Structure 1
Amino acid sequence: MSAVPDFAFCALIVMGVSGSGKSTIANALGQRLGWIVEDADWFHPASNVEKMSAGIALTDADRWSWLRAVTAEIGRRRVSGQSIVMACSALKRAYRDILVHGHRDTRIVYLRGDKNLIDDRLRARDAHFMPPELLESQFETLEEPTEDERPIVVDIDATVDDIADRIVTMLAPGRTLS
């Protein structure tokens, strides 16, 4: 594990399709950085969870109240002076714009992965409301972050430790992020 650089951010939003490792990487980052970790899935209204559990993809209309709840949580942490790592799919630019809301102290971490690898991961996990059958809709919805969003982009075909170490290293002051 690499040494944790001295920097002050408010929020890291760890994004990607279902099965890309958002929760796992967010937890690893929270441990390394000593930050609070939340999972945006916890902020979904029951109606969204019911739809996904039934194999029905969410619409933008389904997501707006959820995104506002996640953004409010990030804002609460900011006001209290706490930094947070938020695992959140944030598949579209419009969603990320709501979450970041122009705050320079909020960064996007994009977990990029091969559809076959992610499908294998989804089929191997138990007790999650997101069925593997919705993976295709996730990739159809995905708008990869663009350079102007200042994303940290990491491929997920490495160990959790390697991925988390790379992200922490890329957060170091003065680093050019790729």
Structure 2
Amino acid sequence: MSAKILLGAENIRQLAWGAVNGCEAASLLEGLHYQGRALDLNYGQFLLQMPISPDSNPYHGFGGSPFTNRPGKFEAIFTRPLMWWGNRYGNLQELSGADPQWLYDFVAKGEPVLTFVTVRFEQPEWDSYPFGQVPANNHAVLLDGIDGDQVHVSDPIDGQYWLPKTKFEPIYLSRKMAIAITK
């Protein structure tokens, strides 16, 4: 893949909405809007529809509140409940476990990919919870561009930018969690 591809998905700034923990919903809505879906919903409305886990387990729904940090809670939502929710608005495809090249292939087809990474692509800082080990610096971004040795992301905290694949891939591969927002 030698041609530069930049889908140009919008960037939703989660902190502007007071959502200190709303990266998954922001990245998902960016991808849905890119595909022409859920256009009648802004980020605030979308967040209010996010499924909340009654047992604070991100494998069951959002584990806490997107608006506050609560001690002992892991405020995130993982792929399965995110797909259950997001499929109400568009077409999603689970890519967890996929090699990075698969993610790039989806972007090349015009399908952005929500990827679970870490804040600022720093090394994961692992914490233990009853549901398993997760990075305390958990984050999600929308992968929406590729160009040679670089990828482009729409990051709900830090905006839109290019970064080297050598920085993106190890952080993605630490968990291999991703969802394509398809046509």
TM-score range, shorter chain: under 0.3
TM-score by length of 1: 0.27
Which structure has greater helix proportion? 1
Which structure has greater strand proportion? 2
